Each structure stands twice: as C-alpha cells, then as structure tokens.
Amino acid sequence: QNTKIKVGALRFTSHSGSFVAKDRGYFADAGLDVELEFFQAAQPMAVAIASGDIDYAVTAISGGLISLAQKGAIKVIGGALIEEEGIDGQQILASDAAYQAGVTSPAMLDGKAYGVTQTGSSFHYVGDKIAQAEGISMSFKPLQKVGAVIGAIKSGQIDAWNIVPHIAKPLAGSGAVHIIGAVQDYLPGYQTTTVFTSTDNAENQRDKTEAFLAGFSKGVTDYNSTMIDMADGEAGVDEMVKLIHQYVYADRPFEKAKPSIVNGTMRINEGAKLNMASVQDQLEWFKAGDYVDQGVTIEDLVNTSYVETMS
Amino acid sequence: MDIRLENISHSYDDFEVMRDITLDIPDGRIVCIVGPSGCGKSTLLRFIGGLERPSQGRVVQVGNPPEGCLNPLTYIFQDFALLPWRSVEGNISLVLEDHGIKGARARAIIDDVLARTKLSDFAKALPKQLSGGMKQRVAIARALAVKPAVMLMDEPLSALDSQTRELLMDDLVSLWTRQPFTAVYVTHNLAEAVRLGHRIVVLSRRPGQIREIVELDTPLGEREYGDPELERQQKHLWQLMRDEARAADAELINV
Amino acid sequence: MDIRLENISHSYDDFEVMRDITLDIPDGRIVCIVGPSGCGKSTLLRFIGGLERPSQGRVVQVGNPPEGCLNPLTYIFQDFALLPWRSVEGNISLVLEDHGIKGARARAIIDDVLARTKLSDFAKALPKQLSGGMKQRVAIARALAVKPAVMLMDEPLSALDSQTRELLMDDLVSLWTRQPFTAVYVTHNLAEAVRLGHRIVVLSRRPGQIREIVELDTPLGEREYGDPELERQQKHLWQLMRDEARAADAELINV
Amino acid sequence: MSDATLDTIPATKAKPEDGTARPVSFRGGGFAPKPRRWVGLVVFLVLIAIAEWGTRAGWISALTLPKPSDVLQTFQELYASGLLFKHLGPSLSRLAVGAALGVSLGVSVGILIGLFSYIRAGMVPLVAALFPIPKIALLPLFVIWFGIGEGSKYALIAFGTFTPTVVATYGAVDNVDRTLIRMGQSFGLSWFSIVRKIVLPGAMPGILSGLRISLAIAIILLVAAEMLGAEYGIGAYILQAGSLYDLERLFAGVVILSVLGVLVSGAIAIIERRLLGWRT
Amino acid sequence: MSDATLDTIPATKAKPEDGTARPVSFRGGGFAPKPRRWVGLVVFLVLIAIAEWGTRAGWISALTLPKPSDVLQTFQELYASGLLFKHLGPSLSRLAVGAALGVSLGVSVGILIGLFSYIRAGMVPLVAALFPIPKIALLPLFVIWFGIGEGSKYALIAFGTFTPTVVATYGAVDNVDRTLIRMGQSFGLSWFSIVRKIVLPGAMPGILSGLRISLAIAIILLVAAEMLGAEYGIGAYILQAGSLYDLERLFAGVVILSVLGVLVSGAIAIIERRLLGWRT
Ligand SMILES: Nc1ncnc2c1ncn2[C@@H]1O[C@H](COP(=O)(O)OP(=O)(O)OP(=O)(O)O)[C@@H](O)[C@H]1O
Ligand SMILES: Nc1ncnc2c1ncn2[C@@H]1O[C@H](COP(=O)(O)OP(=O)(O)OP(=O)(O)O)[C@@H](O)[C@H]1O
Ligand SMILES: [Mg+2]
Ligand SMILES: [Mg+2]
C-alpha cells in the first residue's frame, strides 16, 4: 500500500516536475500515492503546508514563507527553478510607453515605477537587486495580483516588471510591452523557487520526504531532457506538452495552449539541488528590509540534509 | 363657487366602482356623503379635487373662486397628512411657499389660522407631540391658510376617538358659523352627517349610486349633541343603510 | 366569578398614571370604563388580565371560573390581534392547541363559535381578506372558544367605521342576551357605553381616578339605536367629561 | 408615472369669466412607477451592442473590454468542454453548504438576540465589530483554522453570511407586532408556543428580505473562498482568468456569477410569494 | 426580558375553593429585551482574556492566533512610529471620497428609479445584475479603467457602495407615504417642491439605514481597493502582514477596521438622531 501524500501546485509550467512525476508513475514507483492540490496563488500554499493540509510544494521564497519557517512550521528541503545562463529565465519587461520614452535597458529605470505583487515579495527582491546593481532607485508598486500587474504594465501605469518567460514572451509579442533584459544578468544562479515541506515531514518523516524528492527529481529530469535538451525531438516535446496540458491551460484547445507551454520552459534543478548562496542572499535581503524578524537564521529556513547544495 | 358633478361613472379596469352620479354642491353649504364601505366615496372626492379622472362624466366648477383664494379645492384627509418632519407652522407654510408667500405675509396668515383653530400655543410643536385631535386641527388650519373655495373632507374625524370627534365637530360648526365655507364631507358616521350636513347624500353599496338626498334645515349652530330631531333623521338614514352596510362588511376582499 | 380591584395605583417611573381605583365587576354584567385619552384605561385592563402588575393595590378574582373554562380572563383587542398568517379557523385553533384540544374536539368548538358569530362561511379566509368588522368578529369567536369567565375588551370597536360599529354592537347584545357573559369594556365612545354597559365607570384625566359610576337599568335587549333615555344618560356623561377631554387632547406628548 | 405630472397646470392659474362652468383641472397622478418589463431587456441589449460595436470599431480598446461576442464564444467553449459544470458544481455546493450554515446559525443567534436581554447585550456589539472585517484579510488564518479543503470555503461563506443574517433577524424579531405577543400571553400560550407560532412567522418577512442580502454576499464571497486552494469553481476560474489577464474568460465568469445572483434573488421572490401570501 | 416569563403559571392551573378571593396571576412581560450596556464590554474582555491565556499557556498555537498583548504592543509601536496616521490618513481619504461618490450617485439614481417608470424598468435589472459581482474579481480591469493611483481605489469603493445605496434609496422612495404626496398635489405644489419637500425627507430614514450597510461595505472594500498599488493604508498594511504571515500586525489592522466600522455606525446613529428627531 502506497503512502498517501498531497502535493500543492499552481497551474503553471514551472510546476511540471510534479505533473510529470505523477503522470508517469514516478511517485508511485517511489511508494507514494500523490494527490495534487491546486492553488490560485503561492502564498496560501505555504500556509497550507503549515496547517498540514498538504505535504510538499514548490514556490518562491517570500516573507510569508520565512515567517512560517521561523514559527517552526515549515522547512525548505530543495531547489526547483533556477536562473541558468543560456536558458531563457525570467525576463525584465518595460511598458511600451516607457520603452518609447527611451527605457531600453534596466539601467535607464532610474526614478521609474516597478511592479511587484507585494512589498517583500520575490518580485520586490528582484527589482531591488536590479536597482542596486545599476545604482539607480525605483518606486515599487504593490498590485497584489499578477493580473493586476499585467494590466498596469500594458496600460503603461508602471514602467517595468520581471516575470517568467511563458508570460513575458506572449506579452512582448503583442507589442504592449518590451523585453529589456534578463534577470539572470543581475542574479546569476538565482534560486527562483524551492521545494518545501512541513517541519514535521522534514525532521520526522525522512522516508516519505526522500521518496517524494526521488519521484519529483525523476519528473524534473524527464522534463529538462525533453523540453530543454530536446532529447526526444519535436515528438517528445509534443508528448510532454500534451501531458502538461492536462494541468495547465486545460480549458484551452491544445493548439492555443502549446505555444504558451513551450514558451514557459525553464530549467528545473536536477535532483532538486539547492543554491544556498542565493537562498542566503534572499534571506539577508528580507531581513535588511525588515520584512521578517531579525532573529531568523538560515537553519530555521532550510534543512540541507536532503539534497546537494551548491554555492 | 359651486361644483357640479355630471353623470359620473367609474371603473377600475373591469371593476365598477360608481354609476351615473349627478350632484350639485352649492356655495356656502356643507354636503355630506354617506354610504357603506367601498361604495366609492373617497374616489368621488378625488374626482372633485382633480386628483383622479372619472371614466365617464365630468366635474365642473361654476363661477370663480373668491378673491385671494390660493387653492380653490382643498383637501382635509382622514389621516391628517401632516409632514412629520415639519413643525405645525412649517406644515402650514409648506402650502404657502409654492405661491411665493414668505416672511411677514406668511407669518400673518399662519398666525391668523392658528388663532382660528386655537393652536397658537403649538406653533413650534412637531406632529408627533400632538394628539390626533390636535393634528387634525393643524390640517384644518393648513386648509384655511390657502383660503379655499371648497373644502373636501374625507372622513376627517374617523381616525379620532369619539370624544375628540365631538370636540372637533363643535370646532367645525363654530368655524362655519363665523364664516360659512363650502364643503364636501365624506363620512361613515351618520351622527357626523346629521350634525354638519346641510344636505346628506346617501350612496348605495358598490357600484355607488345615489339612493337618497336628505335636506336638513336646522341651522348648524342650533344642532346639539343628542338633539331629538337629528336623532330621528339619523335613525332614518341608518334604516336606509343598515342592510347594505352589513352586506358590504361581509364581502371578501380580493388582494 | 367576580373580579375585584382593590386600591390600585400605578406609576411608570415618576409618571403617575392612576390613583387609588377600587371597583367591583359582578358576574354576568358588562362594566364599561370611559375616560379621556391617556387616563389609564388600557393599563387598568392589563392589570385585570394579569398582563401587567400595578405598583400598588391588587386585582382579585372571587369564586371559581365556570366548568370547562380554558382561559378565565380573555381579551378582545382594539386592533383585533389576529395572526395574519393563519386562516380564521387557524386563529381560533391557536388558542385551543396549547390546551391539547385538537382534531374533532377542536373542530366542534370552532364550528360552534363560528356559527355564533355568523362566520361559518369564512372559516378558510385569511385575515387580509376580511373587512374590519369581520376581523373583530373572528376575535370575538376566538375569545368565545376558550369559554372565558370574564371578557376584557379594550376599545373593541374603535378601529371600525361607525356603521360597522353599530352592526357589531347589535351582535354583542344578541350574544349577551342568549348567554350573559361578564365583561369589562373600555371605550372612548359614550354611545357604546350607554348601549352595552350595565355599569359605566367614568375616569378622570390622568392620573386616572373614578369620578362617577353610573348604573343603567334598561335591559340590554331593549336599548335601541337613538333611545331618548340613553341619549339623556349619554349627554350627562358627556357633560361630565367634556372639559377633561379637551384638556387631555391639548396635552403635548413627550416622546 | 411621475413623468406625467410635469405638464399639469395648477388649478389656480386659469381664471374663467364669472358664472361660466369649466371642468376641474387634473393635478393628480404620478409618483407610482408602473412596471415596463421589456425596458430592462432593451437596456441590456443596447449596452451589449454598444460594447460590441466599440470593440469591433476599435474605439474601445481590447485592453478595456472584451468583445461581447468573444465572451459568448468563450462561454460556449466552456460549455462544450464540459468544464462549465465542472466549475459550477463545486461552486454551487460551496454556496449551498456555506450559506446554509451561515444563515441557519445567523437566524438562530438573531432570534436569541431578539428574545433575551443578556444575549443581546453580549452579542450585538460583537456582531457590530465583526461586520466591517474584510473576509479576504483573514484568508491566511482561515487556512490554518479550517484547512484548504472544502472546510475553509464553507467557513468563509458561512462567516460572511452570518453577520448580515443576524442583524436582519433580530431586527425582524424586534418588529414583530407586540400586540400579537400580548394576545398569545393573554390566552395563556406557553413561551415556546409564542416563539414558534407568533414570533417566528412574524419575523419571517424580515428574515427573508435579509436573506436576499446574505445570499448576494455569499456569491460575492465565492471568489474569495476559492482563493483557498480550489481547483474547480467559478471563483477559481475567474481568479485564474484574472491572473492571466484573460478578459474573455474573466467576463464569462463574472456573467455566470451575475446570473447566479439574479436567479437566487428570483428564487427568494418565489419563496416569499409562497410563504408570505398572508401579507397585504 | 423574555427570560422572565418562563416561570409563569397559567391562570387556569390553580383551582381555589369556591367563594375564595385570590389575586389574578401574572402572565405578561417579556419579549422586550432591555439594554444592559456593560455585558458587551465583559464579553469582549472575557474573549480577549481567553485568547491571552490560551496563547500563553500554549493550547492555542502561535500559528492560530497571536497573543492579544503582542497585538496591543504592535499597535503601540505603530502609533509611536507615527506610521499609524501614515496608514490611516490615505485610507480615510479613500473611504471618504469613494463612499461620497458611490453614495451620492446611488442616492440620485435611486431617487430617479423611485420616480420614473422607464428609468426604473431599465436600471433595476442592471443593478440586480451588478450586485452579485465580486469587486475583487474585477481588480485587473480596474487597473486599466482607472489606473493604479487613487482613481481606481475611489472607483472600487464607489462601485461597491453604489449598488446597495441604490437599492436602499428606491426602496425608501417607494415607502414614502403616498397620502403625503397626494396632499402636496392637492395643494397644487409643483413637481419639484413635492420631490424636495416631501419625497426626499420622507425617504431619508430609509436612505440613512441603507447608508449603514453601504459604509460597512466601503470599509470592507478598503482592503480590496488597497490591493491596487497602495503603499500606505490600513488595507495595504493588512495585506502585507497577511503575505508575511505576521499575525500580530494582521490583527492590529483588522482591529483598526473593526473600530472604524463601529465608529461609522455610531456616527450614523448620531446623524439619525439629529435628522430624524421627528420620527415617533
Ligand atoms: N386605485 C384603485 N385601483 C383599483 N381599485 C380601487 C382603487 N381605489 C379604490 N379602488 C376600489 O374602489 C372601491 C371604492 O373605493 P373608495 O376608496 O372610493 O371607497 P370608499 O367608499 O371611500 O370606502 P371606505 O368607506 O372604506 O373609505 C373599493 O372597492 C376599492 O377597493
Ligand atoms: N409601558 C409604558 N411605559 C410608560 N408609560 C406608559 C406605558 N404604557 C402607558 N403609558 C402611559 O400611561 C398613560 C396611560 O396609558 P393608557 O394606554 O392606559 O391610556 P388609555 O386611557 O388607554 O388611553 P387611550 O384612550 O389613548 O387608549 C399614558 O399617558 C401613556 O403614555
Ligand atoms: Mg374612503
Ligand atoms: Mg387605550
């Protein structure tokens, strides 16, 4: 009898690791009976891990996540999406108005408005890092919902934003916004998303957690090799897109969904490797901004005993 | 100014309310209309005041309203129809404002009508502070303020208890004796009719038709509480109406 | 069963409503209580029915209620107090249900009281379909259903128009003649008092005190609409009350 | 119609010659709007036509409003794919369970508040303090308190419908005609009989009209509730469309909620006609 | 108090010997809750004390509820740092402007609906369809329509208060005593005089009681409005606290909104007492 677990996911391409592992039976092979729980936003996913409603999930590091980790509720156990040179990562966008006014690279964003979902969100982190690197200052507009940010940048009410490629590319294609840079130029090796679980799972249920990571990693490997390394050619891509289409853009016809899914391709860390340097940097940034308690340590946040770390 | 009703009939959709009513309301007299519930008394009064139009027939006014008359056909309602958010004087000034009468002129009129209705001490009171009898006095004062040619009264006393009713009848009689006014007075109450009416029109049950017109010759001032001649008239009217009233009362209302 | 009121006084906080009222209500007679507005008539009736407690004095019942009496002291209210969501028979069965009377026994009682109040055809009607007079008849039927020892009536006819009032007075008289009941009948209306009362208690203006008790010996069945002797009594009562009524009417109400 | 009175000539204005007879002038009518059913439909059609025209002609930008015809097509696709019912099913059951919980609890508490002094004194300020709390602010807490399953969705909707129902119910109990209650007491009815046979039916009109508002709020809260880990559901569908700035789907979802609201309000009207036929 | 009647003995039960005199038994009272002011305060204090005890003793986990004392401390810090007013200022001005817009528009439209048949027929279904639309679902659109500045915040609050105000207002106009209007006509008052002097004051009680609901909704919508690019504001403060899962600040913010709601409702009560002193 397989152990029943629940895995949280968003209907985004970046969660393909879990989709593939479930669909191709890798979780089952690892002795897990996985049920996917879908969320509309990343933040409730962290809370749901804390409340014990789900066991594992993948999301960006946010103030809320660190807060919950400090309360002893959750732990990061591995890495997922990462910015890697040579592969399309998160794009920096400028609104058409700003672009026409001469903002053609992030360096020209001085004094401009940068869209974020919340103060102390990962967007804020990225924007602030860009500003620091360029030695400029920007104002950050909290708009809560990705949709609201899209609306704001399309109508030129904010000047810039960063977002994953599967959203960035079609937006740029429509001509309403322009890509003016890539996040990886500023934050090489940025650990965009991490795998995390409850402290109880991480500390007391080692077998289960290892089994999950094993299954998940297999899914990630499949995904990377098919979509990025093109190991199985176009046919392989088609098959993979079909698999993902069951979970993402399910209500659109396949033809419409495919470009979006392909556009969204980003590398996910093999073996859920975790870039500790990036995590450490993010934690320091949150502390510096006073978005989280000053007493949080990297040990509160991460359990490094599961996966290989890089630094 | 006289009022003449010419062959008035009326139906609401298919619901016949009154049939062929012809009636004269001579200047300076009080005409009482009595009849069982639902026979169309209030409707008839609305026709006279121009608030509604009959299906057939017409209401005409013969002659001109007297000098200074602001609103020839003026109502006094059963439920007083005072604006609860205005004081006694505010309620009276309401009907003057639209005629451009303000300030000292309005003041003079208001003081005059309040004095005539013995309300001078209550000018600043709100309706909620007044008993029913006082409220109806305010309504009468308001009607007097526009110097009406004809007063149209729809059961003006029936919301009052019977003692207050007696008091107000006395007041109406003394108002009329000092300065006769024309009035159409709708009531259920035969005692009121014989006390105040120069002419009493008895309507039949719905569809309302004129059954009888009784003329009373005793001058208003001489009619007294419990006058035997009036009692006799009242008894006669009650015999006319009794069975119709019973039948009207036992009718189911469609709602 | 007699009722005796012993030295009843009452104040609401510092507001004195009545003072030292002592009164006997003998079995089988109708006692009318008249008095100007606000003199405490309704309050007194609430004391008799046990719905409120006087500050001083007490109400006692002397002797036992008759056999089969479900609710010795039974009210009939001015505004009928029918449940609008129950039909005529539902309103009557309401007061039987709590005594465990259901099914055929209830049916028999309901049919009996409806017949006595001439309502048999209206058993299924809702209150909204009935005229005021019919509604009060239903309330009377409901009161009869519990075989009361004493009926407590608070201006039962004052919400009705005067023609319906006449009709219902006749009905009450015929009910009483067939089977005499004890009643305390509060009213403003002196005509009602002299028509229905064996004993008429006149209260003064607030604080209510007994001013006079008038005994009427004419049997109820022989009192007629417009009876000269009754008119005389009525006139006498009116003279007693007139000034007090006027003063009571002109009082400002504190709200 | 109020419109009709504008042309009325006051009776005083005209001054005919002495002795002549002239009809009394009409000055009544108005201030009583009459139903004109088709106008509502026409307004909707005109608005939609304008939107269609504007989006087609381009003077309404595609960013501002989707083409109504595209929304319709999205709706058809949603229906054809069977997803419509997959979304509608969970939403309706959440609405039903959540609203049933909130309303039944609200009615009970409202009646207790209406009847007992101490409960009133204790609960009324509490309800007043709970009312202005935005439910979306509490979302993170709801996850901890009730989990991400159906529990938290029911709880959110129940919480949102609870407060307005309480307020409407105790208002309705306060408005029950006291003479009816005195009547019940005067016939020696027991306390429970009075509550069951007089207070409850008497408060029913007020409770039902409160239900209109509560249920509208329940529909509004559906979106907030489905922020919490909902896979299917109209709210989840709208949120997802919003996060992708997919206006066609956003509008299709909003139209569904709107229709749902109109249907619920119609259903209450029917219940009112059934249950409250005794009202004049 | 309703509580008092439970011990009443029906008058029929006791059967004294023949000829004896005994007092009539009392069976009235009750069903009229009396104010007991201090109870509300006690309930609040007890609830807070329990929360404090539980969080200190540990049987309420820190994830579930913050310590009330910590919330108080957060609040003090907020006050001491001057940030309280930095947050309160923009929120209050958004509330004021948004609610003023929505309410004044709502009252105007409501009155037009109350007076004119065609406007009624056209607008009522529209309002009914707008009511159940959740404002948060429209956030992305509001960004396009009204920008991310103050405009969209005003618009969202205005939109949220508009519909309930319209419904309350035309209900109130419908309930204005028609005999008063007929009275106005019978004295030859002009249409505008009737509307201004009779319809408007007569509808005022209904409009004000609708305002209670509208303003509570405005406060609730503050959080939604401040989702749109607000740096300061109680709503923004709550949202940020929520996303950082900082329960102390979340509760501090919620308490502020709750107090705001109670204050607004108190203010309306005062206005009612002033303006509607004429009611019995
Ligand atoms: N606007 C209306 N539409 C339809 N029917 C009406 C309307 N107004 C009155 N009626 C009906 O017309 C009949 C006569 O009404 P009206 O009010 O004139 O009677 P009434 O003699 O004044 O009765 P009451 O003595 O009860 O005041 C009644 O049956 C009433 O139901
Ligand atoms: N519950 C109460 N609290 C305070 N005052 C009251 C209460 N009930 C009655 N009153 C006052 O007591 C006085 C007597 O009231 P009651 O209703 O008994 O008079 P009434 O003689 O029946 O008057 P009416 O003829 O107008 O019916 C009135 O002034 C009234 O305002
Ligand atoms: Mg009438
Ligand atoms: Mg009374």
pLDDT tens track, chain C, 255 positions: 899 999 999 999 888 999 999 999 999 999 999 998 888 999 999 999 999 999 999 999 998 888 888 999 999 999 999 999 999 999 999 999 999 998 999 999 999 999 999 999 999 999 999 999 999 999 999 999 999 999 999 999 988 888 889 889 999 999 999 989 999 999 988 989 999 999 999 999 888 999 999 999 889 888 877 677 888 888 889 888 888 888 888 888 775
- D-chain residues within 8 Å CB-CB of A48? 143, 147-148, 229
Q: C40 CB less than 6 Å from ligand 2?
A: yes
Size of interface A-D (CB pairs under 8 A): 77
Helices (H), chain A: 16-23, 26-29, 42-50, 63-70, 96-100, 122-134, 146-154, 165-173, 199-204, 206-223, 233-245, 254-263, 276-288, 298-301
Determine which residue's CA is closest to atom 12 belonging to ligand 2.
C17
How far is it, in rounded angstroms, from Cα B214 to Cα C233?
28
Lowest-pLDDT range of B33-42, E21-30, E161-170, E201-210: E21-30
The pLDDT, as a whole number, for residue D51 is 93
Instruction: Give which of B230, B246, B139 is closest to B193, Cα–Cα.
Output: B230
- In what helix (H) or strand (E) does residue D196 lie, and over which residues does it extend? none
Q: What CATH number is attached to the domain comprising D147?
A: 1.10.3720.10
Q: Does D148 touch chain A (CB under 8 A)?
A: yes
**Residue D25 burial class via C-beta count within 10 angstroms: exposed 0-12, middle 13-18, buried 19 and up:** middle
Lowest-pLDDT range of A275-279, B92-96, D241-245, E9-13: E9-13
Ligand 4 centroid from CA C42, angstroms = 4
Determine which residue's CA is closest to atom 16 belonging to ligand 1.
B40
Phi, psi of A197 (to 5 degrees): -150, 180
- Computed on alpha carbons and rounded to an integer, the radius of gyration of chain A in Å comes to 19
A58 and A9 Cβ atoms separated by less than 8 Å: yes
The pLDDT, as a whole number, for residue D19 is 60
Largest alpha-carbon pair distance within chain B? Answer: 55
Domain count, chain E: 1
The pLDDT, as a whole number, for residue E8 is 40
**Residue C12 burial class via C-beta count within 10 angstroms: exposed 0-12, middle 13-18, buried 19 and up:** exposed
In a domain, residue D199? The reply is yes
From D81, D144, D236, residue closest to A47, measured CB to CB: D144
Kindly list the domain boundaries of chain C, sorted by start residue: 1-65+183-255
C190 to B162: CB separation less than 8 angstroms, yes or no: yes
Q: Does A68 touch chain E (CB under 8 A)?
A: yes
Q: Residue D151: give the domain boundaries.
A: 89-229
* pLDDT band (50, 70, 90) for residue E12: very low
Tokens of E216: 């509570």
The pLDDT, as a whole number, for residue C255 is 57
The pLDDT, as a whole number, for residue E251 is 92
Q: C187 CB less than 6 Å from ligand 2?
A: no
- In what helix (H) or strand (E) does residue D194 lie, and over which residues does it extend? helix D191-194
D5 to E222: CB separation less than 8 angstroms, yes or no: no
In a domain, residue D105? The reply is yes
Q: Does A172 touch chain D (CB under 8 A)?
A: no
In a domain, residue D8? The reply is no
> Does the pLDDT value for residue E11 go beyond 80?
no
Chains that touch E (3 or more CB pairs under 8 A): A, B, C, D
pTM: 0.86
Lowest-pLDDT range of A95-104, C99-108, D230-239: D230-239
Which residues of C lie closer than 8 Å to B, measured between beta carbons?
Answer: 36-37, 122, 125, 128-131, 133-134, 155, 158, 161-164, 166-167, 187-192, 225-226, 228, 231-232, 234-235, 238, 241-242, 245-246, 248-255
A188 and A286 Cβ atoms separated by less than 8 Å: no
How far is it, in rounded angstroms, from Cα A75 to Cα A209?
12
- B-chain residues within 8 Å CB-CB of E177? 81
CATH of domain C1-65+183-255: 3.40.50.300
- A-chain residues within 8 Å CB-CB of D245? 147, 150-151, 154
Q: Which whole number is the average pLDDT over B114-124?
A: 92
E strands along chain E, which residues? Answer: 21-23
Q: Does E64 touch chain A (CB under 8 A)?
A: no
What DSSP designation does B208 have?
B
C128 to B36: CB separation less than 8 angstroms, yes or no: no
The pLDDT, as a whole number, for residue D189 is 92
Ligand 4 centroid from CA C187, angstroms = 8
Between D70 and C224, whose confidence is greater? Answer: D70
The pLDDT, as a whole number, for residue D137 is 83
In a domain, residue E16? The reply is no
* E169: closest CA of chain D, how far (Å): 14
E63 and A50 Cβ atoms separated by less than 8 Å: yes
* pLDDT band (50, 70, 90) for residue D18: low
Nearest CA in chain B to C193: B162
E119 and D3 Cβ atoms separated by less than 8 Å: no
What DSSP designation does B195 have?
H
D12 to B73: CB separation less than 8 angstroms, yes or no: no
> Does the pLDDT value for residue E3 go beyond 50?
no
> Which mutation among C18, C32, C42, C79 tests ligand 2's pocket best, with the greatest number of atoms within 8 A of CB?
C42
How far is it, in rounded angstroms, from Cα B184 to Cα B34?
11
Tens-place pLDDT, residues A241-274: 999 888 887 777 888 888 878 877 778 888 888 9
CA distances from C168 to A120, C154, E190 (A): 81, 15, 45
The pLDDT, as a whole number, for residue E32 is 81
Contacts of residue D186, defined as CB under 8 A and 6 or more positions apart, other chains included, come to C49, C51, C71, C73, C74, C75, C152, E27, E28
How far is it, in rounded angstroms, from Cα B100 to Cα A242?
82
Tens-place pLDDT, residues A187-218: 988 998 899 999 999 999 999 999 999 999 99
Q: Which whole number is the average pLDDT over D249-261?
A: 92
Largest alpha-carbon pair distance within chain E? Answer: 89
How far is it, in rounded angstroms, from Cα D132 to Cα D137?
11
How far is it, in rounded angstroms, from Cα D57 to Cα B165?
73
D186 to C79: CB separation less than 8 angstroms, yes or no: no
Lowest-pLDDT range of A296-305, E86-95, E106-115, E236-245: E236-245
E139 to A157: CB separation less than 8 angstroms, yes or no: no
Nearest CA in chain C to B166: C242
* pLDDT band (50, 70, 90) for residue E18: low
- C-chain residues within 8 Å CB-CB of E280? 255
**B to A contact (≥3 Cβ pairs closer than 8 Å):** no
The pLDDT, as a whole number, for residue E13 is 41
Ligand nearest to the CA of B208: 1
Q: C10 CB less than 6 Å from ligand 2?
A: no
C127 to D198: CB separation less than 8 angstroms, yes or no: no
Helices (runs of H) and strands (runs of E) counted in chain D = 11, 1
How far is it, in rounded angstroms, from Cα D238 to Cα D91?
12
Q: Does A127 touch chain E (CB under 8 A)?
A: no
Ligand 3 centroid from CA B93, angstroms = 27
E145 to D221: CB separation less than 8 angstroms, yes or no: no
* B253: closest CA of chain C, how far (Å): 4
Q: Does E31 touch chain C (CB under 8 A)?
A: no
From B130, B246, B253, residue closest to C167, measured CB to CB: B246
Ligand 2 centroid from CA B164, angstroms = 17
